[in-house]
């Protein structure tokens, strides 16, 4: 957050992160995941998978250096363990980032996000709308992105996220 506005991953200053706390958290995540490796092991639980996802983000030098394929694998595992609408949105965000990076087709991701906007619970619909706006912005569809961010101003409460939407609504 900068000046009371939420920031996309691309704009986060990772050098400001407390490295001591970060390493301690990564050590805890590694210890939690270690129980799930080896013969006869079971699948990791929700919190171990969420810790691993956080670890992938924390280990990346920047958003561009994020291991998006690994995140897709982890979100697939999380979706199998914890099939919530929030997990589904987060997985689609990762798939969208991969499609943008690789020059792939965004339409399947956007279609599934649109389904969540129409049929998901309010929190998932809002997050799916944010993801659609972000994909439009990242793919150069500025007018579409601005319109989506303007629509979000009607549903996002006051605070950093609303200021973020206002910033991109134009």
Domain co-membership, 112 together with 155: yes
- Position 65 pLDDT exceeds 60: yes
Domain co-membership, 49 together with 100: no
Domain co-membership, 63 together with 89: no
- Position 6 pLDDT exceeds 80: no
What φ, ψ does residue 5 adopt, rounded to 5°? -120, 130
89 lies in some domain: yes
- Give pLDDT tens digits for 151-163: 999 999 988 899 9
Query: pTM score > 0.85 for this model?
Result: yes
166 lies in some domain: yes
Domain co-membership, 50 together with 25: yes
Quick one: pLDDT band at residue 3, thresholds 50, 70, 90? Answer: low
The parent domain of residue 111 ranges over: 84-170
Quick one: pLDDT band at residue 59, thresholds 50, 70, 90? Answer: confident
Domain co-membership, 63 together with 109: no
- Give pLDDT tens digits for 118-151: 999 999 999 999 999 999 999 999 999 999 999 9
Q: What is the CATH number of the domain that holds 167?
A: 1.25.40
Domain co-membership, 125 together with 98: yes
Under a CB-based contact definition with an 8 Å cutoff, are residues 106 and 135 in contact?
yes
User: Where does residue 78 fall: left (phi above 0), alpha (psi -120 to 50 degrees), or beta otherwise?
Assistant: alpha
Q: How far apart are the first and last CA of the chain?
A: 19
Q: What is the mean pLDDT of the chain?
A: 90
């Amino acid at each position: 957050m900068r000046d009371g506005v939420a920031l996309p991953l691309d704009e986060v200053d990772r050098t400001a992160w407390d490295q001591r706390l970060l390493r301690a958290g990564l050590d805890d995540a590694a210890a939690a995941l270690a129980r799930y490796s080896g013969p006869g092991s079971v699948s990791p639980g929700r919190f171990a998978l969420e810790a691993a996802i956080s670890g992938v983000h924390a280990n990346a030098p920047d958003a561009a250096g994020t291991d998006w394929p690994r995140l897709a694998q982890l979100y697939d595992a999380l979706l199998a363990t914890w099939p919530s609408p929030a997990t589904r949105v987060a997985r689609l965000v990762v798939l969208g980032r991969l499609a943008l990076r690789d020059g792939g087709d965004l339409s399947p991701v956007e279609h599934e996000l649109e389904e969540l906007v129409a049929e998901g619970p309010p929190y998932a619909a809002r997050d799916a709308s944010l993801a659609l706006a972000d994909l439009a912005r990242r793919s150069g569809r500025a007018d579409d992105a601005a319109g989506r961010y303007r629509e979000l101003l009607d549903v996002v409460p006051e605070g950093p996220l609303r200021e973020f939407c206002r910033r991109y609504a134009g």
